[in-house]
Structure 1
Amino acid sequence: ILCWKWSKTPDSWRLAQVVPIYKKGDANDPANYRPISLLSVLRKILEICLQDELHSASPDIDISQGGFRTQRSALDQALCLHELCLRHRLDHNNNSPTLAALDIRSALFDNVSIQVLLSGTTSRSFWPATGVLQGSILSPHLYSIYINSLPQFLRSPSSSSILSNLSDSDSDFQDTPILSSRQRPHRLVCGKWINALLYADDVVLIGNRSNIQQLLNRAEEHSYQLGYRWNPSKCIVLQQPTSQSTNPLPPLYLYNQPLPTASTFVYLGIPFNASGMINNQQLLQRNIASALTGMRTLRTIGCQDQCLRYIFGGHAKSSTIVFRHMANLSTMDERVHTLGAKNLSRAFYLPEDALLTELRPILRDNRHRWKQLQKYNEIWKLLPLPPEDASPRDLKSTIRTYRTTNLHKLQQGPNAGVLIKACRSKLGVDPIFFLPMTSRERSRLLRWRMGWLPGKPIQCTNCNSHRTSRHHLIECLDIAYQLDLPPDILPNPIDHLLNKLPRKPPSNPQTILFWQQTWPKLMVALEQLDKICHPNPNDDIPADPELGQQFVDWLTPPPPFLPSHDPSLDYILHL
């Protein structure tokens, strides 16, 4: 309360301990470390209290800024850059834009002391001059306000002071004439010419060979007026593909320092090629390499790319269809369509002032990848018409319908296996995984579902006339009779019961009585199967006491709670 009233915080709240985390490059260069600030928890609580007040009193953030804003993501901003580069080509006779990715030097707020924490040793305190406090809850929004004038300054035709009021009615900075006077400029969004994208402190300038240096000059002037500085050595200019050999781009300068050029660059984790388009091949290869590296790391603790087989103990070529269905895991194709449909649907629920929302009408053009994503996404085609108006609940229901349809096709197809046909026809985690039972009972149930019980056929020790198989053992042991079920019940007596297992304790007394009588019989039958298919000559494995008792106890509802009578209460009430 005192901090709120007097606008003053304790000195300890303004102390940040910075832990350097190595990124890449020369380990002896401090610039190759990412500083992670450790702040006071009480300070963060106060910042949460101030957050809503700060946002309500803040000016509108420019549409080109996508960092740390509600319902906006780095992927949205990368898609916007891709589409703006495509629209630039439409405006300029299919010529690719020239992109300049700028890197800003970081600093911290004034009146804040810093200590570097390295290997348990703390440095002496020092005080930075300008910037925003890293690790603070309010810093991202404060930085967005601080840098908010940059996009408008880049659009302004003159180099007037940015500290004066800038109106949206100012002429847009249009780099070249548009194709036709009757044609609306493709990069004109909300009356603003988009020649820069910002995601927090990640800035990309979008221009062409004739004006990119002018944009860099304006960015330099903006830094002088606001008192920050770009880092030329970490900036990158994306060289156009047609000019790399025949007509190379002249050197571009920032603070009179030449900027390095490249044919590709990574923006917010997404690789872009020299044309300003998302580099799908490089993205795929990078993700594959990253996944393989991650799996090699996970392999040391028992997981690798065959993790499902390792989880249930299968051999290198064992089928994962049944286990995937029992665990309610989507196939890779289903995951692709699900993620695609969610991304397409999400674009129609973004805030009205989001850049991607303003680009949405253009995305529906057949020349854009967006239209192809909608055309070939199986879930999107199943949504109620028009799919753009589908609610999140509609999308969730459609995804479930899509997966259920695929499951039915799998179970009813001509090449469907016996095991998957015997499983449940509904989606969801199989209750075998979580119902109370002993580990041996659960093992038998899982091995039966997976086909490992009976497993490899051997001589049946019960009749000594046939080899073990699912069909033979069910008939040989007369499982249907043991379970009081019809002999012709489908798919078979054991799987029939497993498919009807309750997911929560039933309330119907008849259902409770049925399972109390049937479940122990099922456990006995599976124990007989297990002993026939996996005989133990030493017979030193102790028998399970009271087979199925844990499940039976789970079925029985606990008695109602009756508080004990305390005679002292009567005396108190009498008084």
Structure 2
Amino acid sequence: MFEDVSVEVILSNHKSSRFHPKTGILQGSVLSPYLYSVYINSLPNFLRPASLVDTDFNDPLIVAPKLNCLLYADDVVLIADADSLQSLLSKCEEHSLSLGYRWNPKKCVVVDPSPTRQKYYLYNSELPSEDYFPYPGIPIKPGGIIDKSALLQQNINKALGTMRQLVTLGVNKNGLDYLLSTRFYAQIVRPQLEYGLAITTFNLREIQALENCQSQCIRQIFGGRPFTSTKVMLHLANLPNMKDRISILQTQFLFRTSSLPDDALLTKLLPYIQSERISKWSQLSRSPFWTSISNEHLETMSHKNFIRKRRQFLIDNHRSKLQEKHTKLLSHCRNDLIVDPILRIPMTKNERSRCVRWRLGWLPLGKPQACPFHPNELFTRQHSFSCLDMHNRLQMPKSIDDPLSYLLNLLPPTLHTRKARQSIDAWLIRWPFICAILLEMDYLAHSQFPEASTHLGEPFVKHLHYIQQKFSDS
């Protein structure tokens, strides 16, 4: 594969002499996986006691001995009883020698459930025994069972480790803005937390451990004490809780099986797996999302229709959450499952922080202080409505309990629709008042009075003028 290639190695500022490889492939070459598949493709047939035919899948007792290996890229698993495993290892050794490649015994592990473990050898090297082994990346115990506790701890450790790195890069309450930080979490951290959850079932205690991990990451972005609720934070960023995510991931896995090719291993085994009451399939099929769509014709359901069902599942769950205890702040947020516009629209860092803190119910100094205008009363969220004359200043009727949250819920997600553009004139008046009220709350909490300013809400006001001018010229 090499032609006129020279290589030198630099180590501790010392350079080796050049050498010229004649065989092999550079690491990262696109040819590597292709040539590996050519080499390894004959291994399964070589290991089987007899050829595998379609009729074998009709009888599990016939097909089981023939499914004695699993291959995923360069990860290979041998499945055998204690008496047959050494024979399979010898065949693997023979196969490698015949094709000119070599296994690495140091990277091999025997997962043996028997208390008196035998010794197994590859190239005359004894293979170590372990209680579990990750394949690929999922801890597998003896008997081919997923080690849930090890998987959970592994995922949590990885997610928290990655989040700690991102915090140092600005993904924190004092760094990047909330929307960008939550997207970093959703794209980088959460996939590590969710790895393997689609094929595993969990009890309430295990789900709570995942919820706690996600909450810990979200608090790094929005701030808050160790036990501060993250329900509103997740809703602002349109991020579901881990319980809903697990149900969605499991259902997506089950749904994809309906479109697998006919010769896929899972497709061949499905009739047997689905008939067993205690199989992993039957456990996954109890997922709340899956039970809500399992009565439909999944074979003909389009991907778009599945996405609509998934959204409806999240909407129904959000409505259920609003009926639970301690959801008053969540009920004051918008009901739409979208990223809250207060994370999107142009505004200064302080203005956005005040909007978010109002949503979260956080007062500027934490605990309520005495009101400068009414010394006998504490400056609470409820007191601020009358003290700052919110209803009159925002031109809202008294029947609305929280006029500030009500108006924030009316913020348009986009200004590119005709209906949203028709509200621009109203927002040019309302938005500076909203920013002024939130600013006054900050000052009054510190027993100070803000100075008059004509620049409140300026970034969003300028954006509104720009959109108004843009569409008036077109």
TM-score (normalised: structure 1): 0.65
Report the Cα distance in structure 2 between the residues aligned to 1:380 and 1:169, rounded to whole angstroms.
Answer: 32
Residue 423 of structure 1, CA deviation: 0.9
Q: Quick check: 1:486 aligned with 2:397? A: yes
Could you tell me which runs of 5 or more consecutive residues in structure 1 were left unpaired when the two chains were aligned: 1-108, 158-166, 173-181, 563-575
In structure 1, distance between residues paired with 2:463 and 2:435: 15
Is the Cα contact below 8 Å between 1:380 and 1:387 reproduced in 2? no
The answer on 1:394 being equivalent to 2:305 is yes
Q: 2:109 aligns with which of 228, 233, 236?
A: 236
2:167–2:220 Cα contact (<8 Å) kept: no
Secondary structure of residue in 1 paired with 2:304: helix
Deviation larger for 288-297 or 205-214: 288-297
Distance change in 2, residues 1:405/1:122 (3 Å): farther
Matched, 1:184 2:77: no
Query: Which of residues 143, 148, 151 in structure 1 aligns to 2:41?
Result: 148
How has the CA–CA distance of structure 1 residues 193 and 114 changed in structure 2, closer, same or farther, with 3 Å as cutoff? farther
Q: Is the 8 A contact 2:258 2:298 kept in 1?
A: yes
SS of equivalent to 2:333: coil
- CA drift of 1:394 comes to 3.1
Q: Percent identity?
A: 42
Deviations 1:252-309 (CA, angstroms, capped at 9, x unpaired)? 3434444444443332222222333222233333334445555666666686973433
1:36 matched to which residue of 2? Answer: none
User: Partner of 1:431 in structure 2?
Assistant: 341
Q: Quick check: 1:269 aligned with 2:158?
A: no
- How many Å separate the matches in 2 of 1:427 and 1:225? 59
Uncovered stretches (5+) of structure 2, i.e. residues with no partner: 173-212
2:369 equivalent in structure 1: 458
Q: C-alpha displacement at 1:154, in angstroms? A: 1.8
Q: 1:214 aligns with which of 81, 87, 106?
A: 87
| Equivalent position SS for 2:322 | helix
1:440 Cα shift?
3.2
Give the deviation of 1:432 after TM superposition.
0.8
Give, in whole Å, the separation in 1 of the partners of 2:424 and 2:315: 29
Which segment is superposed worse, 496-505 or 224-233?
Answer: 224-233
Q: How many angstroms apart in 2 are the aligned matches of 1:186 and 1:452? A: 63
Secondary structure of residue in 2 paired with 1:197: strand
Cα distance in 2 for residues equivalent to 1:392 and 1:433? 29
Alpha carbons 1:271, 1:278 under 8 Å: kept: yes
* CA distances 1:206-238 after superposition (whole Å, capped 9, x unpaired): 222333333233223222321223334543333
One-letter identity of the residue aligned with 1:326: L
Quick one: which of 461, 466, 471 aligns to 1:552?
A: 461
Task: Pick the structure with greater CA Rg.
Answer: 1
Name the structure 2 match of 1:124. 17
Give the Å deviation of 1:441. 2.6
- How many matched pairs? 424
Counterpart of 1:362?
Answer: 272
Higher RCO, 1 or 2 (CA under 8 Å, sep at least 6)? 1
From the superposition, tell whether residues 467 and 115 of structure 1 become closer, same or farther in structure 2 (CA, over 3 Å): same
Contact kept in structure 2, 1:432 and 1:446, CA below 8 Å: yes
Distance 1:280 1:560, change over 3 A: closer
Looking at structure 2, the residues matched to 425 and 169 of structure 1 have their Cα atoms a distance apart, in angstroms, of 54
Cα distance in structure 2, aligned partners of 1:554 and 1:138: 51
Kindly tell me: are residues 261 and 127 of structure 1, through their superposed partners in 2, closer, same or farther at Cα, counting changes over 3 Å?
A: farther
Residues 1:227 and 2:100 are matched in the alignment: yes
Q: Distance in 2 between matches of 1:272 and 1:497?
A: 52
Question: Separation in 1 of the partners of 2:378 and 2:106?
Answer: 75
| Partner in structure 2 of residue 385 of structure 1 | 295
Determine helix, strand or coil for the equivalent of 2:38. Answer: helix
Offset at 1:372?
0.6
Structure with the largest fraction of strand? 1
Instruction: Describe the shift of the 1:443–1:276 C-alpha distance in structure 2 as closer, same or farther (beyond 3 A).
Output: closer
Asked if 1:205 corresponds to 2:78, the answer is: yes
User: CA–CA distance in 1 between the matches of 2:355 and 2:269?
Assistant: 54
1:325 aligns to what?
Answer: 235
State the partner residue of 1:526: 438
Distance 1:289-1:307 versus aligned 2 partners, 3 A rule:
closer
Per the alignment, residue 78 of structure 1 pairs with: none
Report if aligned partners of 2:255, 2:298 keep a CA contact under 8 Å in 1. yes
* Structure number having the greater helix percentage: 2
SS at match of 2:418: coil
Q: Are residues 224 and 533 of structure 1, via their aligned partners in 2, closer, same or farther at CA, if it must alter by over 3 Å?
A: closer
The residue aligned with 1:477 is 388
Q: Which deviates more, 128-137 or 269-278?
A: 128-137
How far apart, in 1, do the equivalents of 2:251 and 2:239 lie? 18
Distance 1:358 1:543, change over 3 A: farther
What SS does structure 1 have at the residue aligned with 2:27? coil
Residue 436 of structure 1: SS of its match in structure 2? coil
Shift of 1:140: 0.3
SS at match of 2:350: helix
Describe the shift of the 1:223–1:129 C-alpha distance in structure 2 as closer, same or farther (beyond 3 A). farther
Structure 1 residues 134, 156: closer, same or farther in 2, change over 3 A?
A: farther
RMSD of equivalent CA atoms: 3.5
Q: Residue in 1 aligned with 2:29?
A: 136
